[in-house]
Amino acid sequence: MSSLDCDQMTAHRLGDLYEIATGQREYFRQGKTRSIADRLVALQRLKQAIQTRETEILDALQQDLHKPSFEGYVNEVLGIGREITHISQHLRQWCQPQRVATNSLVFPATAQIQAEPLGMVLIISPWNYPFYLCLMPLIGAIAAGNCAIVKPSELAPATSQLVKELIASCFDPDWVTVIEGDETVSQQLLEIPFDHIFFTGSPRVGKIVMAAAAQQLTPVTLELGGKSPCIVAADTNLRETAKRIIWGKSVNAGQTCVAPDYLLVEESCLPQLLPLLKQAITDFFGEDPSQSANYGRIISDRHWSRLVSLLNQGQVIHGGDFHQGDRYFAPTLMVEPDLTAPIMQEEVFGPILPILTYQTLSEAIAFVNARPKPLALYFFSQNKQQQEQVLAVTSSGGVCLNDILFQLAVANLPFGGVGMSGMGRYHGKASFETFSHQKSILRRSFWGETNLRYPPYGNKLAWIKRLFT
């Protein structure tokens, strides 16, 4: 095929995408997404469709990630249903204009803030939680009254296809459309003017999305990742702590943006903690996790090969086994990691857990603060004073004390990163706000007009200073 033919195919594809976008833009302009009642009906229709096709969803997640049904339901399906319920209970209240105070300078007047939909939004979702991370932002976009184009990850094809069918059964394509394809399709979508772009993925791709959005002056929400630290103090319940850490690290075979990326363990308790970590792995998955029905697989050969390349960057003390055929990679504990190597410079995004030690909490905090701000920070300690110290002097997207991942389960806690781990936030009301414009409105009366502001000014400045300063 000639380069001209390729260019023509690309142009035709981009033309199709522009046509879809034009249809959505017109649908929005006609006000068809404005009705709060219609939004609520649409969300309930989506919830019902998910319940009806639950088995198919779990099967698709199994195909793409070897995800156990328990993990598929609890970590992907359950959260979607709960989010729809939460938003449905509060949406009418959030849509009400919020009265705010005025001041003597504008008297007599009233002021309020009114949430209004942005218009047409683009949602680009990742492969690691291909159902949850595709629909969670979409729920917020629909609740706020927008049209949306959704681009699922091509690395999870079974889930992508199911999401496309699900959305098509619930929404007019001019309201919500799913566009499948590889990164070329994502690049083409980024050439279209949107009113907001919501991207979940790596910081590397996040930079590309932000650069493309800048060409259209399109605001973005970037849900990225980073090396989320887990600090373990000697005063914690070590047995329970070990179980919670291994659970949080092994869910989805470690392919979780808020999984603990490395451990910082108080040196005095390391000899006690290591056997407990190893025992937790065995308790969860048996002597050979590759035979466990409760353990997932790595998404692609490329990601699997990357994880294999990390194994020589520290001392493996447990696990380290892998099979290329089914992309199995064992839960792995590593000590003495090379701080200059990729294992400690890049997000692991897999089931390898590097373990370091510290002697004082200040030393651990300094280690964390010397690195880019993470998406999550975990601290296991029963010392309230030390907990407050960590909260006061570290910065991260979110914090969970004495557990792992559970900060995501609270609808009233906004989720998002800071610095290199992302910008913007969502979940619950934060999702509604992300996909809304907060319009400021001032209403003034003609009563009481003094003409003080109009020329000629004469000595009016003295009156202004006396009255308003």
Most confident of the following: 15-19, 311-315, 447-451: 311-315
**451 domain residue, yes or no:** no
**19 domain residue, yes or no:** yes
**206 domain residue, yes or no:** yes
Whether 83 contacts 44, CB under 8 Å:
no
* 234 and 303 together in one domain: yes
Mean pLDDT calculated for residue range 314-327:
96
* Amino acid 469: pLDDT: 85
* 366 and 427 together in one domain: no
* 171 and 240 together in one domain: no
**464 domain residue, yes or no:** no
**325 domain residue, yes or no:** yes
Q: Across all residues in the chain, what is the average pLDDT?
A: 95
* Amino acid 15: pLDDT: 83
CB atoms inside a 10 Å sphere around CB 387? 17
Q: How many domains in the chain?
A: 2
Report whether pLDDT(421) > 90: yes
Rounded-to-integer distance, Cα 310 and Cα 19, Å:
45
* 265 and 405 together in one domain: yes
**456 domain residue, yes or no:** no
Mean pLDDT calculated for residue range 312-338:
97
Tell me if residue 15 falls in helix, strand or coil.
Answer: helix
Report whether pLDDT(352) > 90: yes
Q: Which residue type sits at 2?
A: S
* 199 and 235 together in one domain: no
Rounded-to-integer distance, Cα 260 and Cα 332, Å:
13
* 181 and 296 together in one domain: no
Which tokens hold the place of 94?
Answer: 């959030």
Tell me if residue 114 falls in helix, strand or coil.
Answer: strand
The residues annotated with a catalytic role in the active site are 223, 257
Note the pTM of the prediction, 2 decimals.
0.94
Rounded-to-integer distance, Cα 210 and Cα 132, Å:
23
Our CA angle for 133, 136, 139, nearest 5°, is 150
H/E stretch holding 318 reads strand 315-318
DSSP 104: T
Residues 378-404 pLDDT 10s: 999 999 999 999 999 999 999 999 999
Residue 108 neighbours by CB under 8 Å, 6+ apart: 444, 445, 447, 448
**CATH number, domain at 253?**
3.40.309.10
* 163 and 245 together in one domain: no
Rounded-to-integer distance, Cα 119 and Cα 436, Å:
9
> In Å, how far from its chain's centre is CA 314?
30
Provide the edge-to-edge strand list for the sheet that holds 436-444.
98-100, 109-117, 436-444
* Amino acid 198: pLDDT: 98
The parent domain of residue 104 ranges over 3-224+422-441
Confidence of residue 13 (pLDDT cuts 50, 70, 90): confident
Q: What is the bridge-based pairing of β-strands 220-223 and 352-358?
A: unpaired
* 272 and 179 together in one domain: no
Rounded-to-integer distance, Cα 257 and Cα 415, Å:
12
* Amino acid 8: pLDDT: 39
Report whether pLDDT(50) > 70: yes
**CATH number, domain at 83?**
3.40.605.10
Instruction: Give the N- to C-terminal CA distance of the chain in Å, as an integer.
Output: 74
User: Is the previous residue joined to 108 through a cis bond, with omega within 30 degrees of 0?
Assistant: yes
**430 domain residue, yes or no:** yes
Report whether pLDDT(171) > 70: yes
* 83 and 168 together in one domain: yes
Q: Please identify which residue in the block is written with the tokens 């999305």.
A: 209
Residues 264-295 pLDDT 10s: 999 999 999 999 999 999 999 999 999 999 99
* 48 and 188 together in one domain: yes
Confidence of residue 6 (pLDDT cuts 50, 70, 90): very low
* 213 and 248 together in one domain: no
* 115 and 241 together in one domain: no
**87 domain residue, yes or no:** yes
